[in-house]
């Protein structure tokens, strides 16, 4: 082939490279040649023609390429003042409208330096660089607006009307309808501020819905926080006259006042029309501009023309919302009726009730306050929407007897406040502290009544959208809800009480069955306390018992139930002779209930130390009474405040009656065994003494025998038996003839003389008694028994023990 020859192939490649170099050089020279100047603009009537339309030319990228003299005058530029697109855009209303014209071919109406103009933009073909032509013309009615025939609306305006009609018909949602109206209205009459005020005939106020432009250019519909009264501001003037209102300059209209904050919105010109359907006032449609003379009579006519259609669209949306609300209310009320049948505990019931009511009312705080007759308080029930569960323990409102709040509660008054933290009425009722703690604003408390009996209140507060007060419709709905849920709550309470009574009856039956069994005292007390703790859902249970001699009240540790800190033994014992004992439950035989803070009721130190050691907040102490004598007491405690109610006290009293019999029976069995043993020993001793008396006449021997038998029978450690001179006069002080045992003192003590005079035995438990001299060290208890012969003191038996409380 031809290209197989290397020489030919080299020549071809060299020739091709030369041609490529020449073509590239020519292309670079053509591209690098100077750009043509802007096209000849003489065809556009420029500054030489004073009637020329204002014209801008903008390059791609946003650089202002050219502006004619008429446009400079339109934008208020001084001679020699430089012009750029950003400066011109700041003089234009609405914001960004001029910049939007630079993006694509379009037409719009805007305000420049307070003058309403129509602007259109179109890209110039074959221009290098790419240019966009923007022209301006005065916004006038009829043909001036672009119509071919005077008195007719231009095609552009008719198209806006069609778009507005379609947008209003596209949705029945109130907010969406208002947004569509205000959004499309900007294409007809540009304004800095657009607002639709909906009229509420019940409160006679206007609720403003305002269209605002965000920083990112997005438009949003805002429900304003302020409310306009019927006779206030420009809205009130429009509502009173039912006629459109055009104000060229508010600074010059001293007779007119605005409600809106003009420091935040410095409006100068205003245009508004009433929205009326038949004879019913729906609201007002209002436009405002920050420049004077921004609106023309033609704009007023345009708004008046569309106001009827706008009013009908808003009226239909309001009716639809009302029907939707009623449907939701009926569905919610139907769910309320089903709440009772599917719930077994009170918490689940209130969860269902609150979740069913919440969709009906746009509030942040919603829940139930039930009246507790035992504690005279209104207690918040879990859950309480808008209030943390941890705070509900403190959300308790006291209802003192004879207080204004009790009067209002019994009278079934509806309690309403527009500002609960400052309301004088709420301060008088004592509700202000709870309102401040819960952060309540507008609040209503609807009474819950069943057959004339007040159960408490249904409370709603703090609208989701900040509103100053509850409407009549909301109050009516709350009344309907309260009337329906009150029987549900009452029936649930009755059912809960029935179940609780059945459980407690079964628990008491088990305790009674256990009490009559052959179990030991420790087992009976232990399992009985466990059953009581389970029934009352308490944290701690304990029993304090008097010993068989009724001397010491002490904790029965084998039966103690629940987690409790170890306490010293001395804190769990109390002598019956202590001054505190009569104020204990066992000593007074009265039930003691601490159902609030432990410091609110005076109690003895013995109780205070145990309560602090065991961290008790609520406590019930019930005495164990047998034959009108206290033999002990039962403690049931909780670490939660206000935990027990009167029903719990009644249950404890019933259980204590059964357990008291168990304790007494156990004591009797123990005492019977001990008594029989002691009686056998005593009979044996008496038999031995009687036998010796009949066989011996040695007095000292016989006294020694009696002394030994007395020590053995009473288990005393030592002692003395004194025998007196029998020949002395009765009034003389007894003289010791002889003695056995420990050496006696030279003279009898005053206590020994009292025993001889009384003829009764005496047990000395307090060795600090000044009437008795200590016979020797180590003596803790003493038994004194007189010996009589022919109605005269013939001797004295004095026995000693190193154990306290040894003799009985």
| Domain CATH number, residue 125 | 3.30.450.20
Considering the domain architecture, whether residues 539 and 488 belong to the same structural domain is answered as no
Considering the domain architecture, whether residues 161 and 246 belong to the same structural domain is answered as yes
Considering the domain architecture, whether residues 528 and 653 belong to the same structural domain is answered as yes
CA distance 29 to 33: 6
- Residue 548 backbone zone (phi > 0: left; psi -120 to 50: alpha; other: beta): alpha
Considering the domain architecture, whether residues 593 and 569 belong to the same structural domain is answered as yes
Helix 297-339, helix 155-170: angle, nearest 10: 10
DSSP state, residue 144: G
What distance lies between CA 607 and its chain's CA centroid? 34
- Token pair for residue 284? 């007002």
Task: Give the chain's residues under pLDDT 50.
Answer: 1-3, 27-28, 30-48, 141-152, 598
Considering the domain architecture, whether residues 543 and 597 belong to the same structural domain is answered as yes
On whether the CB atoms of residues 397 and 378 are closer than 8 A, the answer is yes
How many structural domains comprise the chain? 6
Helix 297-339, helix 346-357: angle, nearest 10: 160
- Residue 735 backbone zone (phi > 0: left; psi -120 to 50: alpha; other: beta): beta
What distance lies between CA 621 and its chain's CA centroid? 33
Considering the domain architecture, whether residues 374 and 266 belong to the same structural domain is answered as no
CA distance 196 to 223: 10
On whether the CB atoms of residues 477 and 329 are closer than 8 A, the answer is yes
Residue 44 lies in a domain: no
Residue 744 lies in a domain: yes
Considering the domain architecture, whether residues 657 and 738 belong to the same structural domain is answered as no
CB-side exposure of 149: number of CA atoms within 13 Å? 1
Considering the domain architecture, whether residues 241 and 296 belong to the same structural domain is answered as yes
Residue 764 lies in a domain: yes
Which helix (H) or strand (E) element contains residue 637?
A: strand 629-638
Strand order through the sheet with 592-594: 573-575, 552-555, 540-546, 629-638, 618-626, 592-594
pLDDT digits (tens, 9 = 90+) for 228-258: 888 888 888 998 899 999 988 888 887 887 8
On whether the CB atoms of residues 298 and 332 are closer than 8 A, the answer is no
Residue 43 lies in a domain: no
CA nearest neighbour of 474 among 461, 455, 487: 461
Considering the domain architecture, whether residues 199 and 123 belong to the same structural domain is answered as no
Measured between alpha carbons, how far apart are the two ends of the chain, in Å? 146
Q: Residue 317 — φ and ψ, nearest 5°?
A: -65, -40
CA distance 186 to 470: 34
**What pLDDT is attached to residue 35?**
41
CA nearest neighbour of 205 among 113, 284, 133, 279: 284
CA nearest neighbour of 553 among 577, 536, 529: 577
Residue 592 lies in a domain: yes
DSSP state, residue 733: P
Which of 470, 499, 528 terminates a domain? The answer is 499
> Cα dist. 181→186, 276, 310 in Å?
9, 16, 7
On whether the CB atoms of residues 161 and 152 are closer than 8 A, the answer is no
Enclosing domain of residue 186: 155-324
Considering the domain architecture, whether residues 167 and 310 belong to the same structural domain is answered as yes
Considering the domain architecture, whether residues 314 and 217 belong to the same structural domain is answered as yes
- What does pTM read for this prediction? 0.50
Residue 602 lies in a domain: yes
**What pLDDT is attached to residue 259?**
79
CA triplet 53, 56, 57: central angle to 5 degrees?
135
Q: What is the 3-state secondary structure (H, E, C) of 441-487?
A: CCEEEEEEEECCEEEEEEEEEEECCCCCCCCHHHHHHHHHHHHHHHH
CATH number at residue 162: 3.30.450.40
Residue 213 lies in a domain: yes
Considering the domain architecture, whether residues 446 and 356 belong to the same structural domain is answered as yes
Residue 46 lies in a domain: no
Which of 630, 655, 670 terminates a domain? The answer is 670
Which of 439, 465, 499 terminates a domain? The answer is 499
On whether the CB atoms of residues 759 and 788 are closer than 8 A, the answer is yes
Exposed / middle / buried, residue 26 (Cβ in 10 Å: 0-12, 13-18, 19+): exposed
What distance lies between CA 717 and its chain's CA centroid? 70
CA distance 137 to 145: 9
């Amino acid at each position: 082939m031809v290209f197989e020859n290397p020489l030919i192939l080299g020549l071809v490649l060299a020739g091709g490279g030369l041609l490529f170099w020449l073509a590239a050089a020519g292309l670079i020279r053509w591209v690098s040649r100077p750009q043509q100047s802007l096209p000849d603009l003489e065809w556009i009537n420029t500054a030489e023609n004073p009637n020329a339309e204002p014209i801008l030319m903008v390059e791609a990228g946003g650089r202002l390429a050219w502006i004619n003299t008429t446009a400079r005058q339109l934008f208020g530029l001084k001679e020699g003042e430089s012009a750029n697109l950003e400066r011109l855009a700041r003089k234009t209303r609405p914001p960004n409208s001029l910049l939007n014209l630079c993006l694509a071919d379009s037409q719009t109406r805007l305000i420049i330096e307070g003058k309403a103009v129509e602007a259109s933009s179109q890209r110039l073909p074959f221009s290098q660089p790419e240019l966009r032509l923007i022209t301006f013309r005065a916004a006038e009615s009829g043909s001036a607006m672009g119509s071919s025939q005077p008195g007719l609306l231009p095609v552009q305006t008719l198209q806006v009307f069609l778009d507005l009609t379609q947008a209003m018909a596209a949705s029945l949602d109130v907010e969406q309808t208002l947004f569509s109206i205000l959004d499309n209205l900007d294409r007809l009459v540009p304004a800095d501020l657009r607002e639709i005020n909906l009229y509420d005939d019940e409160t006679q106020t206007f609720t403003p819905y305002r269209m605002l432009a965000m920083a990112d250019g997005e438009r949003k519909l805002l429900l304003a926080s302020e409310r306009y009264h019927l006779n206030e501001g420009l809205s009130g003037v429009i509502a009173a006259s039912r006629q459109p209102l055009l104000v060229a300059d508010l600074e010059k209209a001293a007779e007119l006042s605005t409600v809106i904050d003009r420091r935040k919105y410095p409006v100068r010109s205003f245009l508004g029309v009433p929205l009326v359907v038949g004879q019913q006032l729906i609201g007002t449609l209002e436009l405002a501009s920050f420049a004077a003379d921004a609106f023309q009579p033609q704009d007023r006519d345009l708004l008046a023309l569309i106001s009827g259609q706008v009013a009908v669209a808003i009226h239909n949306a309001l009716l639809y919302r009302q029907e939707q609300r009623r449907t939701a209310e009926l569905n919610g009320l139907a769910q309320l009726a089903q709440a009772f049948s599917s719930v077994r505990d009170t918490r689940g019931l209130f969860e269902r009730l609150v979740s069913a009511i919440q969709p009906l009312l746009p509030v942040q705080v919603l829940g139930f306050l039930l009246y507790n007759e035992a504690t005279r308080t209104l207690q918040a029930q879990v859950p309480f929407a808008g209030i943390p569960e941890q705070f509900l323990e403190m959300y308790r409102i006291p209802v003192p007897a004879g207080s204004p709040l009790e009067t209002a509660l019994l009278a079934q008054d509806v309690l309403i406040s527009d500002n609960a933290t400052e309301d004088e009425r709420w301060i008088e009722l004592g509700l202000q502290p709870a309102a401040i703690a819960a952060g309540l604003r507008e609040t209503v408390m609807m009474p819950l009544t069943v057959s004339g009996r007040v159960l408490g209140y249904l409370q709603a507060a703090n609208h989701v959208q900040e509103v100053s007060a509850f409407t009549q419709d909301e109050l009516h709905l709350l009344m309907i809800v309260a009337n329906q849920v009150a029987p549900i709550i009452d029936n649930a309470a009755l059912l809960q009480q029935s179940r609780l009574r059945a459980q407690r009856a079964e628990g008491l039956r088990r305790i009674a069955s256990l009490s009559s069994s052959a179990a030991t005292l420790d087992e009976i007390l232990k399992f009985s306390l466990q059953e009581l703790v389970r029934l009352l859902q308490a944290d701690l249970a304990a029993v304090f018992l008097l010993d068989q001699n009724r001397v010491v009240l002490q904790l029965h540790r084998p039966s103690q139930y629940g987690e409790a800190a170890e306490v010293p033994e001395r804190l769990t014992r109390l002598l019956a002779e202590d001054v505190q004992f009569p104020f204990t439950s066992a000593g007074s035989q009265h039930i003691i209930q601490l159902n609030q803070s432990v410091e609110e009721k005076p109690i003895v130190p013995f109780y205070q130390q145990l309560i602090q050691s065991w961290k008790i907040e609520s406590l019930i102490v019930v005495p164990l009474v047998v034959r009108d004598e206290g033999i002990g007491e039962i403690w049931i405690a909780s670490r939660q405040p206000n935990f027990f109610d009167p029903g719990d006290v009644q249950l404890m009293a019933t259980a204590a009656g059964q357990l008291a019999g168990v304790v007494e029976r156990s004591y009797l069995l123990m005492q019977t065994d001990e008594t029989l043993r002691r009686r056998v020993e005593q009979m044996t001793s008496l038999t031995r003494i009687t036998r010796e008396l009949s066989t011996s006449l040695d007095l000292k021997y016989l006294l020694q025998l009696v002394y030994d038998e007395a020590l053995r029978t009473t288990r005393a450690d030592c002692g003395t038996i004194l025998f007196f001179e029998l020949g002395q006069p009765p009034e003389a002080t007894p003289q010791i003839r002889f003695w056995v045992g420990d050496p006696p003192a030279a003279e009898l003590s005053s206590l020994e003389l009292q025993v001889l005079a009384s003829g009764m035995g005496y047990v000395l438990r307090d060795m600090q008694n000044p009437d008795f001299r200590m016979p020797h060290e180590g003596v803790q208890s003493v038994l004194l028994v007189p010996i009589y012969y022919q109605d005269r003191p013939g001797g004295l038996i004095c026995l000693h023990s190193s154990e306290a409380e040894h003799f009985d």
